[in-house]
């Protein structure tokens, strides 16, 4: 594996030290992304967690702040959101995240009673503030396209298993929610309206099913980056049929792609289990990108070959692009 190494998409929501000790052994760094998820700690506590880990183990993590939507529709909503962002940045956050609850939370409605979407004009002052202050906005919009498909049409077993166990989140069964296409269009509308906004489209721009679609966004919006978090199995699935096309994508867009795992350390696993999970994924993903080994993935059936990317490309994807976008801990 590369040294140094950057996992630029995790959620460090406990103070367990095993993951940090393991990271030190690999000369690895983290980006912890604070997110307004109902079962996560408060946004302030998520920030506190990263500061505490850095104080104990040396600067190994940077983080992204976010804001909640609790006062949506109230006169002071925008003031409160901007205050949350300003406080997060003042404490050291490297950017701001907007989550999929905007567009997928039935409790968040606009003035016409429709689902609140990312391109609602109420959010424009937030985008303008982020751009004016040379900050980065990161976005997780919608779900994998599989979420809107019947179970037997989903491409990977991990999605099929999850949505069969959680039908309440399976959008194919919830046609009253905005469509997958509507989620993507709302996000793209923002990028068209704010072309100078620095934006990271998480999870392969929510277009994990087709790298050509990711490439179109990277071409159309030159201030954007994307990350691989929790979507590498979809890349491997595409490599089953078109390894050279997948390889060409990463070589062409080597300056625009950031590695991340999306591992959530929330206490459901022991500290050692989290460390082992991270280390396993790092090695498995590194083998896929760095070697031409014949491999299998647990999410689907079939064998594929690793991409054997050049060392210069690997260094960018697994380290340099993250530092360029988010900075390095301690700096």
- Higher-confidence position of 167 and 118: 118
Least Cα distance to 289 among 254, 322, 326 occurs for 254
pTM of the entire structure? Answer: 0.97
* 302-331 average pLDDT score: 96
Phi, psi of 187, rounded to the nearest 5 degrees? -65, -45
- Higher-confidence position of 278 and 329: 278
Looking at residue 302, what is its pLDDT? 96
Q: List, for residues 24-68, the tens digit of each pLDDT value.
A: 999 999 999 999 998 899 999 999 999 999 999 999 999 999 999
Domain residue limits at 205? 5-326
Looking at residue 331, what is its pLDDT? 75
Domain count, the chain: 1
Looking at residue 330, what is its pLDDT? 80
pLDDT band at residue 133 under the 50/70/90 scheme: very high
Query: What sign results for the dihedral spanned by CA atoms 244, 246, 252, 257?
Result: negative
Concatenated DSSP letters of 197-237: -EEEEHHHHT-TT-HHHHHHHHHH-TTEEEE-TT-HHHHHH
Q: List, for residues 162-196, the tens digit of each pLDDT value.
A: 889 888 889 999 999 999 999 999 999 999 999 99
Looking at residue 168, what is its pLDDT? 83
**Does a structural domain hold residue 43?**
yes
Least Cα distance to 64 among 16, 10, 118, 101 occurs for 10
- Helix (H), strand (E) counts: the chain: 13, 11
Looking at residue 38, what is its pLDDT? 87
**Does a structural domain hold residue 71?**
yes
**Does a structural domain hold residue 146?**
yes
* 288-304 average pLDDT score: 97
Looking at residue 162, what is its pLDDT? 87
**Does a structural domain hold residue 52?**
yes
CATH classification of the domain holding 308: 3.20.20.140
pLDDT over 70, % of the chain: 100
**Does a structural domain hold residue 331?**
no
Looking at residue 86, what is its pLDDT? 98
């Amino acid at each position: 594996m590369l040294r140094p190494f950057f996992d630029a998409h995790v959620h460090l929501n406990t103070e367990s030290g095993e993951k940090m000790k393991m990271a030190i052994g690999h000369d690895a760094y983290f980006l912890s992304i604070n997110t307004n998820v109902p079962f996560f700690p408060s946004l302030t506590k998520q920030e506190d967690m990263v500061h505490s880990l850095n104080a104990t183990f040396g600067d190994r993590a940077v983080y992204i702040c976010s804001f909640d939507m609790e006062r949506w529709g109230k006169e002071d909503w925008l003031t409160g959101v901007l205050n949350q962002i300003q406080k997060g940045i003042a404490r050291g956050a490297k950017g701001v995240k907007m989550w999929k609850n905007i567009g997928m939370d039935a409790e968040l409605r606009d003035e016409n009673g429709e689902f609140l979407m990312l391109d609602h004009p109420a959010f424009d002052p937030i985008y303008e503030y982020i751009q004016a202050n040379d900050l980065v906005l990161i976005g997780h919009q919608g779900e994998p396209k599989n979420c809107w498909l019947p179970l037997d049409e989903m491409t990977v077993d991990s999605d099929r298993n999850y949505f069969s166990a959680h039908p309440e989140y399976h959008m194919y069964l919830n046609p009253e929610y905005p469509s997958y296409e509507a989620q993507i269009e709302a996000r793209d509308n923002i990028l068209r309206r704010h072309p100078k906004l620095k934006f990271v489209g998480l999870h392969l721009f929510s277009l994990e099913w087709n790298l050509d679609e990711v490439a179109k966004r990277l071409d159309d919006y030159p201030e954007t980056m994307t990350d691989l978090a929790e979507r590498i199995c979809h890349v491997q699935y595409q490599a089953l049929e078109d390894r050279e096309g997948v390889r060409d994508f990463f070589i062409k867009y080597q300056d625009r792609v950031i590695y991340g795992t999306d591992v959530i350390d929330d206490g459901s696993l022991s500290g050692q289990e989290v460390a082992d999970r991270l280390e396993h994924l790092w090695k498995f993903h590194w083998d896929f990108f760095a070697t031409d080994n014949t491999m299998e993935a647990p999410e689907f059936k079939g064998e594929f070959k690793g991409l054997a990317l050049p060392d210069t490309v690997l260094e960018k994807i697994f380290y340099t692009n993250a530092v360029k976008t988010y900075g390095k801990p301690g700096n």
